[in-house]
Amino acid sequence: MKQEVQVHSLFSDFDISLFKSGKHYRLYERFGAHLIEKDGVKGVYFAVWAPSAKHVSVVGDFNFWLEGDHPLNVRWDGSGIWEGFIPGIEKGTRYKYKIQSNNNDMKLEKADPYALFCEHPPSTASIVWDLDFKWKDKKFLEKRKENNALDKPFSIYEVHLASWRKNMDENRSLTYEEMADELVSYVKELGFTHIELMPIMEYPYDPSWGYQITGYFAPTSRFGNPQEFMALMDAFHNAGIGVILDWVPSHFPEDKHGLGNFDGSNLYEHPDPKKGYHQDWKSLIFNYGRNEVRSFLISNAIFWLDKYHVDGLRVDAVASMLYLDYSREEGDWEPNEFGGRENLDAISFLKDLNTEVYGSFEGVQTIAEESTSFPMVSKPTYIGGLGFGMKWMMGWMHDTLEYFRKDSIYRQYHQNDITFSMTYTFTENFTLPLSHDEVVYGKKSLLGRMPGDEWQRFANLRLLYSYMFTHPGTKLLFMGAEIGQYEEWNFDTSLDWHLLEHDSHKGIKETLIALNHLYKNQPALYEKQFSAEGFEWISYEDSQNSVLSFMRKGENPKDDLIVICNFTPNVLENYTIGINTTGKLKEIFNSDDKKFGGSGIGNKTIAIKKEGFHGRKQSANIKLPPLGTVVFQIL
């Protein structure tokens, strides 16, 4: 039986104007399902954008999912918004929108694009919910601007929540509540400053790892409800750990309940398949030139920063957004109005996104996963950049892993592979990523890439991490890297925690704990991590020994460090480096330390000699451990 849906609106004329112009960045305060009280009666206000709809009604638990019983009213202003207040609906009620399109009268049943909570997949209904929560992270947020700055240590532990650790007794992933205890304490133990969560927005297909999103405003119900996810965020903050979310504005899946063909038209996706369909991922691409879509996406980014106190967004697949010919053959794309391959709408969108994010929240960061040489990705928009805070350094990752795969006897012929990154490392604010993408699809685990016998493989892995943490830039490691996984990552199973029963694997973990401690406690490693002033080669030319030596510098010259990496298993007893200072050298880190599983070859305090070398006035003779990195303070 058709029931009256009361006329009601949360939209002002100004809201509508902003929405149509692509400048409304708080749409979650208007669209969706909102628990309100109207004229003393409690119920839910619904609002959905469906300009090509002939009729829209709400179906759900409250009306036995019968179409037409609760029709919404279309606004008079041409905005395409359908809305209305339905009395008596309570928190926890399941619902969808039943849409009859003007296009061939097709009927569609869609989840709410702005739903705050969704059913556990494979079920697809939206759930009426609220975001009431008593936060306890005020002190953390007050210090975030200082602690999250680009001249502070920034080391990230990347996590796929479903496969980090399983409850083996029940063969299930941990809940948000369990993670607030186990995951938070573990990241704290490792010493990472941040955790990055692979997409936690609701997604239907487990093998997508979360990168095919249908519920952009809802944390996945796989692990609990929104308040339980908020409690996890709160726990991280109270442990002093920042949280970065993977965010996916690049594409979305074709699932029938999702955004695709939402009202029988290409509402969210670009209508031209050359711009609106991703051939590799079999997914739809947002129409970045449509104002309402821009408002939707930027509102979504702001939502997580606002309502969930997120400290940063890592924006996925930026390269696929920037180029019209991305992964397309000739004839499958069309140039922009100036004849170029750049997607001008996407570029404009990304600039607007970063301008709004940094203008609205102090101390947050956006990080671009961008794999090309597109210029000024991490430069401010006011000088022509895209406005990101940081960019993944994919070139460093590729060259470094290729170098480490080579047997040490051949590394002398590939010295340029390990030094080339320094020719461009200060062109952007780079994050050095060893992410989930590098341990899947037959690429092997990081340990599995390392050459040599068992001892050398673990030594190489410690050397890789030590080189990474002393190289300029912020750091990102995918879960499992810290325990030396033998196997590739499997999204469907837990990490191999039993490996920590073995000293060699415990040594990898202890190495990373020590490196995080070193990074956070040595200003020379972070104060100028994005500036050429923070780095100086001592020698990059010793290819015969496969040795690199360099200095890292902070604001105070007294904080300067000397780093030497030996990429062979040969012990070099009296290796000479040039130094432009007097005094002594004190070894403060050695990846060959016995507590890490190394051979224990190291240095006591070393006197600096008044004998020139490497074009410098002084020098020092150092014992270099096999496949090791040593770091010295100058006393």
| Residues known to be catalytic | 316, 369
At 626, the amino acid letter reads P
DSSP state of 342: B
Tokens encoding 136: 């306890």
Please, are residues 405 and 416 in contact by the beta-carbon 8 Å criterion? Answer: no
**Interatomic CA distance for residues 116 and 94, integer angstroms:** 12
Tokens encoding 613: 């070398």
466 HSE (CA, 13 A, CB side): 30
**Interatomic CA distance for residues 504 and 450, integer angstroms:** 14
**Interatomic CA distance for residues 75 and 84, integer angstroms:** 10
Please, are residues 12 and 44 in contact by the beta-carbon 8 Å criterion? Answer: no
Q: What is the largest CA-CA distance in the chain?
A: 96
User: Tokens 């810290």 — which residue?
Assistant: 482
Tokens encoding 83: 């809305």
Burial zone of 4 (CB within 10 Å; 0-12 exposed, 13-18 middle, 19+ buried): exposed
Please, are residues 493 and 618 in contact by the beta-carbon 8 Å criterion? Answer: no
DSSP, collapsed to helix, strand or coil, labels residue 208 as: helix
Contacts 24+ apart (CB under 8 A), 444-447: 444/488, 445/480, 445/485, 445/486, 445/487, 445/488, 445/489, 446/401, 446/481, 446/484, 446/485, 447/484, 447/485, 447/486, 447/508
For the chain, the first-to-last Cα distance in angstroms comes to 85
Tokens encoding 289: 């030139």
